[in-house]
Amino acid sequence: MKNFVFGIGLATFCVQVFADQPSLQTMVDCELAESQHTISLLRGSPIVDSYIYKTRYGQITRFIYDDAEASRGSDVQWQCASDQKNTNVLVVSGEFASNYLQGALFYFDSTDGKIQRIDFAERNRPRWVKISSQGAQVIFENTGNESSHKYLSYGKDGIFLELDEFPATLPSESLIELNTSKP
């Protein structure tokens, strides 16, 4: 009888633990380079019009930012975009923990064989992604007039550029124009 009561108590505890786990919904699976380099954008824990966002690649699931609070976003848009040749990227942007739109670009870097990430924060969403042998650039039209330059670019290793001319694209490079409408 003692084992029976213990078993019922253990079963009740397990049901409560699994019921408390927030379910995550897959919003998009983006194959960046072959199926073994697929990244997924997940969301869960809805409150009003916001969700907590996570990414999953390989067997690892992470918050899109440092923790659950920083990863809670609203008006979040995502896009798995392609250059129609062999390059795919995942771009995520939304209102997270700042007055600006924040976001991240995920792409496969063939030089090191890993999925890389570029973070950005601007008043508007990005318009283009350029992929070259030096890595990726997320390019914005400067509509917020934060500077006197026409384009703003975020690149690998935290490189930020203000440009007067659109970056030239060599034949060996990819330029992806992003869809600016909602997903």
**Residue 5 pLDDT exceeds 60:** no
pLDDT in the model for residue 165: 95
Q: Work out the average pLDDT over 4-10.
A: 49
Beta carbons within 8 Å of 149's beta carbon, 6+ residues apart: 142, 162, 163, 164
Higher pLDDT, 96 or 133: 96
Strand partners, 150: none
- Lookup result for tokens 């550029």: 161
Q: How far apart are CA 154 and CA 151, in angstroms?
A: 10
What does pTM read for this prediction? 0.84
Mean pLDDT for 132-147 is 87
